[in-house]
A and B are shown apart, each in its own frame.
Chain A
Amino acid sequence: MAKLESKIPEGPLAEKWTNYKSNQRLVNPANKRKLDVIVVGTGLAGASAASSLAEMGFKVKAFCYQDSPRRAHSIAAQGGINAAKNYQNDGDSVYRLFYDTIKGGDYRAREANVYRLAEVSNSIIDQCVAQGVPFAREYGGLLDNRSFGGAQVSRTFYARGQTGQQLLLGAYSALSRQIDKKNVEMFTRQEMLDVVIIDGKARGIITRNMITGKIERFSAHAVVIASGGYGNAFFLSTNAMGSNGSAAWQIYKKGAMFANPSFVQIHPTCIPVHGKFQSKLTLMSESLRNDGRIWVPKKKEDAEAIRDGKLKPTEIKEEDRDYYLERRYPAFGNLVPRDVASRAAKERCDAGFGVGTGLAVYLDFADAIQRLGKNVVEQRYGNLFQMYEKITDDNPYETPMMIYPAIHYTMGGTWVDYELMTTVPGLFSIGESNFSDHGANRLGASALMQGLADGYFVLPYTIQNYLSDEIMTPRFGTDTKEFEEAEKAVTDKLSKLMAVKGSQSVDALHRKFGLLLWDLVGMARNKTDLEKAVKQFAELREEFWKDVRVTGTQDELNPELEKASRVADFIEIGELMARDALMREESCGGHFREEYQTEEGEALRRDDEFMFVGAWQYKGPGMEPALHKEPLNYEFVKVQTRNYKK
Chain B
Amino acid sequence: MDLTLKIWRQENAQTKGKFVTYEIKDISPEASFLEMLDILNQQLIDKIEKPVCFDHDCREGICGACGLYINGRPHGPDSAITTCQLHMRKFKDGDTIVIEPWRAKPFPIIKDLVVDRTAFDAIIQAGGYVSVNTGGVPDANAIPIKKENAEIAMDAAACIGCGACVAACKNASAMLFVSAKVSQLSLLPQGRVEAKERVSRMVQKMDSLGFGNCTNTGACEAECPKEIKLTHISRLNREYFAAKIF
Contact = CB atoms under 8 A, between A and B. Distances in A.
Contact of A137 (B78, B145, B157): B145
Nearest to A125: B140
B154 A139 contact: no
Interface string B151-170: 10110011011000000000
B110 interface: yes
Interface string B45-61: 11011110101111111
Interface string B125-139: 111111111110111
Given A76-B60, A240-B59, A390 B117 contact: no
Nearest to A68: B121
Contacts of B30: 274-275
A159 B134 contact: no
A241 B120 contact: no
Contact of A279 (B32, B141, B184): B32
Interface stretch (A110-118, A366-374, A554-562): A554-562
Given A132-B191, A560-B51, A508 B129 contact: no
A25 B90 CA distance: 61
A416 B60 CA distance: 32
A269 interface: no
Interface residues of A, number: 82
A304 interface: no
Given A129-B190, A131-B132, A179-B125, A551 B51 contact: yes
A274 to B, nearest CB: 6
Given A275-B30, A277-B35, A51 B58 contact: no
A474 interface: no
Contacts of B121: 68-70, 176, 179, 186, 188
Given A67-B55, A551-B45, A129 B80 contact: no
A134 B150 contact: yes
Contacts of A127: 132, 134-135, 137
Nearest to A181: B125
A85 interface: yes
Nearest to B139: A126
B187 to A, nearest CB: 8
A557 B45 contact: no
Contact of A460 (B46, B134, B151): B134
Nearest to B192: A132
B137 A130 contact: yes
Given A66-B65, A127-B135, A180-B126, A162 B158 contact: yes
Given A55-B133, A173-B130, A132 B184 contact: yes
A546 interface: no
A507 B38 contact: yes
Contacts of B114: 557
Contacts of A152: none
A307 interface: no
A275 B28 contact: yes
B16 interface: no
Contacts of A71: 57-58, 63-65
Contacts of A123: 135
A544 interface: no
Contact of B124 (A75, A76, A176): A176
B63 A386 contact: no
B116 interface: yes
Given A132-B185, A180-B125, A391 B87 contact: yes
A123 B139 CA distance: 8
Contacts of B172: none
A102 B85 CA distance: 37
Interface in A380-429: 386-387, 390-391, 393
B34 A279 contact: yes
A165 interface: yes
Interface in A36-82: 48, 51-52, 55, 66-73, 75-76
* Most-contacted residue by chain A among B35, B49, B65, B120 (CB, 10 A): B65
A386 B60 CA distance: 12
A549 interface: yes
Interface stretch (A140-148, A199-207, A253-261, A535-543): A140-148
B38 A176 contact: no
B62 interface: yes
B128 A142 contact: no
A115 to B, nearest CB: 19
A179 B61 CA distance: 27
B126 A174 contact: no
A172 interface: yes
A165 B80 CA distance: 17
A152 B132 CA distance: 34
Interface in B181-233: 184-185, 188, 190-191
Contacts of A241: 56-59
B138 A557 contact: no
Nearest to A166: B157
A387 B157 contact: no
Contacts of A390: 61, 78, 81, 85, 87
B190 A130 contact: yes
Given A134-B153, A387-B60, A393 B128 contact: no
Nearest to B29: A393
A69 B147 CA distance: 30
A129 B150 CA distance: 11
24 contacts: A52-B134, A66-B63, A68-B161, A70-B161, A71-B57, A71-B63, A72-B63, A73-B58, A126-B139, A130-B137, A131-B190, A134-B151, A140-B144, A141-B144, A177-B129, A186-B121, A275-B28, A283-B60, A505-B45, A507-B38, A508-B42, A549-B48, A551-B48, A551-B50
Interface of A: 48, 51-52, 55, 66-73, 75-76, 85, 87, 123, 125-143, 159-160, 162, 164-166, 169, 172-174, 176-177, 179-180, 186, 188, 211, 240-242, 274-275, 277-280, 282-283, 386-387, 390-391, 393, 456-457, 460, 505, 507-508, 549, 551-552, 556-557, 559-560
Given A176-B121, A177-B129, A557-B110, 6 more contacts: A67-B118, A132-B188, A173-B124, A176-B129, A277-B28, A551-B51
Interface of B: 11-12, 28, 30-32, 34-35, 38-39, 42, 44-46, 48-51, 53, 55-65, 78, 80-81, 85, 87, 89, 110-111, 114, 116-118, 120-121, 124-135, 137-141, 144-147, 150-151, 153-154, 157-158, 160-161, 184-185, 188, 190-191
- Leading 10 A-B pairs by shortest Cβ distance: A141-B144, A173-B129, A130-B137, A134-B154, A129-B140, A52-B134, A134-B153, A180-B125, A240-B57, A71-B63
